[in-house]
């Protein structure tokens, strides 16, 4: 347990940061799941719309160094590839 006032404060700050990071990481996972769900449903337009929204979340979380920038880039690339590979809807 922290004994000095400084150590107690750092412990409080670390806990607040941990909770904030966990929340952002959860938002990232949720955004990716929404895109994957839209891809699975077969609706290319909905998947593309969700992808645009999830890109913002991925970039924001990577900028804050909560996840590595390469992880964000790789995830965006794989989602874009999956959307691109979807069949076009018949008119």
What pLDDT shows up at residue 91?
57
How far apart are the C-alpha atoms of 66 and 15, rounded to whole Å?
Answer: 15
Fold of 5-84: Methane Monooxygenase Hydroxylase; Chain G, domain 1 (1.20.58)
pLDDT tens string 19-69: 999 999 999 999 999 999 999 999 999 999 999 999 999 999 999 999 999
End-to-end CA distance of the chain: 66
Phi, psi of 3 (to 5 degrees): -100, -35
Longest dimension (CA), the chain: 70
Q: Is 51 exposed, middle or buried (0-12, 13-18, 19+ CB in 10 A)?
A: buried
The structure's pTM equals 0.83
- pLDDT value at residue 1: 76
Domain ranges of the chain: 5-84
Of residues 91 and 63, more confidently modeled? 63
Higher pLDDT pick, 42 / 88: 42
Amino acid 72: pLDDT: 97
Contacts of 79 (CB under 8 A, 6+ apart): 32, 35, 36, 39, 51, 54
**CA-to-CA distance for 88 and 91, rounded, in angstroms?**
9
DSSP secondary structure letter of residue 86: S
């Amino acid at each position: 347990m922290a004994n000095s006032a400084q150590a107690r404060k750092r412990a409080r700050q670390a806990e607040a940061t941990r909770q904030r990071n966990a929340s952002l990481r959860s938002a990232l996972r949720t955004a990716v799941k929404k895109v994957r769900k839209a891809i699975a449903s077969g609706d290319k337009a909905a998947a593309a719309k969700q992808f645009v929204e999830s890109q913002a979340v991925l970039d924001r979380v990577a900028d804050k160094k909560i996840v590595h920038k390469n992880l964000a880039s790789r995830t965006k690339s794989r989602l874009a590839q999956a959307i691109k590979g979807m069949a076009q809807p018949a008119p």
